[in-house]
A and B are shown apart, each in its own frame.
Chain A
Amino acid sequence: QQPVQSPQAVILREGEDAVINCSSSKALYSVHWYRQKHGEAPVFLMILLKGGEQMRHEKISASFNEKKQQSSLYLTASQLSYSGTYFCGTYNDYKLSFGAGTTVTVRA
Chain B
Amino acid sequence: NAGVTQTPKFQVLKTGQSMTLQCAQDMNHEYMSWYRQDPGMGLRLIHYSVGAGITDQGEVPNGYNVSRSTTEDFPLRLLSAAPSQTSVYFCASRPDGLAGTDTQYFGPGTRLTVL
Interface of A toward B, CB cutoff 8 Å? 1-2, 5, 29-30, 32, 40-44, 47, 49, 87, 89, 91-92, 94-101
Contact = CB atoms under 8 A, between A and B. Distances in A.
Contacts, number: 59
Task: Please list the 7 inter-chain residue pairs (A to B) with the smallest Cβ-Cβ separation, ordered nearest first.
Answer: A91-B100, A100-B42, A41-B106, A98-B43, A30-B100, A44-B103, A94-B97
B108 interface: yes
A103 to B, nearest CB: 10
Contact of A2 (B40, B44, B56): B44
Contacts of A30: 100-101
Contacts of A94: 31, 48, 50, 56, 97-98, 100
Contacts of A101: 42
Interface in B2-27: none
A100 B40 CA distance: 6
Contacts of B59: 1-2, 95, 97
B112 interface: no
B85 interface: no
A89 B33 CA distance: 14
B105 interface: yes
Contact of A96 (B33, B50, B107, B108): B33
A43 B43 CA distance: 13
Contacts of B104: 32, 44, 89, 96
B101 A47 contact: yes
Interface string B85-115: 0000010000001101101111111000000
A96 to B, nearest CB: 6
